[in-house]
Chains A and B, each alone.
Chain A
């Protein structure tokens, strides 16, 4: 009887101690939080303010110059998202009749830009690229040329 009473008291004191320690721990954390109250926020209010991405950013593709339809980008693309139909003119010059990049399939690894021998296909810095239809996310030749960033 006495023993159980003693253990009861022991547990009660222990519980109080734990409670005090927990409150102390919380206050210690709150002190840190409070100091942060006066520091500048690190977040960006996104649609109004935009984040500057790195110059190497791999975003939406564009054509910097005319493609010669060699097919290296098609060969190296890991996700097989490029469709190319090459045509040869009478004077022997090759050009792509269709050149489509399915940006939904694309994984933006940048291997096409690395493989291109004439530096035609590039990955730009635009990362805002959405639409309601999937078909609209397939880029053809004209759109790729239009995507090129303006020269500064």
Chain B
């Protein structure tokens, strides 16, 4: 393991005046730097061969209204080679601006737009600093602390003005008569939700594309700031609604890291079983819709038939089909029910035959090959620079999976391989996901076999309420039950970033605690958000029909893009 302290040390040596402070909390390194020096520091971190922080995970703002300089901009960097993270922080006043890091990582483009939208931060030199999740002409910045949460708290009621960008989008100056602007979505069945794409066409060839997101923006990050840590679990199900358990898991892991709580082995294994089953379900849903988009309707029926089996299993465990809210901080809400292992094993035994059915229909089908090969290509270097995650980056040949890179929840106990593609096209991503399903089935089988006995929640009295039977008998237990249930958990002041490999890519939570029972900042880094940012790059030069193929292959869920 590479020493995580090397990066802060080298940075301090290189920029003695710009580095203000270095902190270490829960094994994460934070470097506080001067606002003016952010660009040179980022350039140095990305280009230094020893550090090579080539991957930008996240940029977000945090609002501290009482501070002299109000905002904090937080950069999460990751080094593919060193497998370490680094957090850069800088403070910015309300009237100040800081330099964009777009030139270092293209992934910064959308993150900076989001920070501009949500906090009103401005980034010098950004090529396209527009609002992202709200519309052009919107008043106010929703994630500032003084922005009201409830509609009743507003001092005004306004009908949303017609957005300035509703119809005319592309700059008109250089439009010669061969070019045409085509609006695709938001009500388009193949955009998997409410994604609006504005395409600039030369004949049928796409020369430029601008995605508009935010139609489903509901302010999850803001809502969570008014909820306790336990209540906020329910918000996570509704981000990527095809993979509720995985979302629960990522958030719970982040809170557990903040609290420094160890989850019992049995709970970890059950989490893995459920997360991998959920991955299979999510990938089946993806395969169904992806194939349907391209005209292969039969696959839809087969995939939904088999997804039903997985969802039934998850329903037996959790009690809900789509929004489980089943994981709790420090463990699970309940143990596995009787006889569920037989059901799971029966499904796993049948699964290879089912995958074969899909493959019969697609893998060597000439129509499928013609539609997917060489479409939506993105090179490994570009994929890293764009900060892509999940099957999309693996389809480009980058062997990066958080389950292996930074193992969590006992993933290092299981044997599995990370499938990668070669060409980075739609077809390779398809193959990667199919193989991922097989590997998930393998992991579930191993976890079932090795499933240890024991508790399903940690013993930590701060986190776990006493057993219901004790509550009825003992006054101590009753008091503690009331305390845990009404107040929830109060982690110590600090900040953590914790991410997992969701079916769609890296899903991470950046949590800032101020010591109270509510998160001060609840930042969600979602995989679809970064993947859709690179969509224009992938579809340029292709035909309109290929847009559908590429959108399907990056597997977006608008619920987590818009949050």
| A interface residues with partner B (beta carbon < 8 Å) | 18, 21-22, 24-26, 28-29, 32-33, 42, 53-58, 70-72, 75-79, 107-111, 114-115, 117-119, 123
Contacts of B323 in A (CB 8 A): 107-109
Contact B316 A25 (CB under 8 A): no
- Number of A-B residue pairs, CB cutoff 8 Å, is 94
Contacts of B333 in A (CB 8 A): 110, 114
Given A29-B298, A57-B315, A76-B485: A108 and B320 interface contact (C-beta under 8 Å): yes
Given A53-B315, A115-B485: A18 and B366 interface contact (C-beta under 8 Å): yes
Please tell me which one of the listed residues B234, B305, B488 contacts residue A107 in the complex, with CB atoms under 8 A apart: B234
Please tell me which one of the listed residues B235, B316, B367, B486 contacts residue A75 in the complex, with CB atoms under 8 A apart: B486
Of all chain A residues, the one with the shortest Cβ separation from B471 is A117
The CA-CA distance from A70 to B231 in the complex, in Å, is: 19
Please tell me which one of the listed residues A22, A107, A114, A119 contacts residue B367 in the complex, with CB atoms under 8 A apart: A22
What is the distance, in angstroms, from A98's C-beta to the closest C-beta of chain B?
20
**8 closest A-B pairs (Cβ-Cβ)?**
A56-B319, A78-B231, A21-B366, A25-B365, A115-B485, A109-B325, A75-B486, A54-B316
Given A111-B230, A111-B231, A115-B485: A32 and B468 interface contact (C-beta under 8 Å): no
Contacts of B315 in A (CB 8 A): 53-54, 56-57
Check B334 for interface membership: any CB of A closer than 8 A.
yes
The CA-CA distance from A26 to B305 in the complex, in Å, is: 21
Check B318 for interface membership: any CB of A closer than 8 A.
yes
Given A56-B316, A109-B325: A33 and B298 interface contact (C-beta under 8 Å): yes
B480-504 at interface with A (beta carbon < 8 Å): 481-482, 485-486, 488
The CA-CA distance from A21 to B235 in the complex, in Å, is: 48
Contact B360 A28 (CB under 8 A): yes
Contact B486 A72 (CB under 8 A): yes
Of all chain A residues, the one with the shortest Cβ separation from B360 is A32
The CA-CA distance from A127 to B233 in the complex, in Å, is: 23
Contacts of A29 in B (CB 8 A): 296, 298, 360-361, 365
Contacts of A111 in B (CB 8 A): 230-231, 234, 325
Count of chain B residues near A, Cβ 8 A: 42
Contacts of A42 in B (CB 8 A): 305, 308
Of all chain B residues, the one with the shortest Cβ separation from A107 is B234
| B interface residues with partner A (beta carbon < 8 Å) | 227-228, 230-235, 296, 298, 305, 308, 312, 315-320, 323, 325, 333-334, 337, 357, 360-361, 364-368, 370, 468, 471-472, 478, 481-482, 485-486, 488
Contacts of B298 in A (CB 8 A): 29, 32-33
Contact A72 B337 (CB under 8 A): no
Contacts of A33 in B (CB 8 A): 298
The CA-CA distance from A70 to B483 in the complex, in Å, is: 12
Q: A33-B298, A78-B231 are in contact. List 12 more A-B contacts (CB 8 A).
A: A21-B366, A22-B366, A25-B368, A28-B365, A29-B365, A58-B319, A72-B482, A78-B234, A79-B234, A107-B325, A108-B323, A111-B234
Contacts of B488 in A (CB 8 A): 76
Interface centre among A18, A71, A109, A118 (most CB of B within 10 A): A109
Of all chain A residues, the one with the shortest Cβ separation from B340 is A54
Contact sample, A vs B, 15 pairs, CB 8 Å cutoff: A28-B360, A29-B298, A29-B361, A29-B365, A32-B360, A55-B337, A56-B315, A56-B316, A70-B482, A72-B486, A79-B234, A108-B320, A110-B325, A110-B333, A111-B231
Contact B337 A56 (CB under 8 A): yes
Contacts of A109 in B (CB 8 A): 233-234, 323, 325
Please tell me which one of the listed residues A25, A57, A75, A115 contacts residue B319 in the complex, with CB atoms under 8 A apart: A57
What is the distance, in angstroms, from A146's C-beta to the closest C-beta of chain B?
22
Contacts of B471 in A (CB 8 A): 117
Contact A76 B231 (CB under 8 A): yes
What is the distance, in angstroms, from A75's C-beta to the closest C-beta of chain B?
4
Interface centre among A24, A114, A123 (most CB of B within 10 A): A114
Contact A110 B305 (CB under 8 A): no
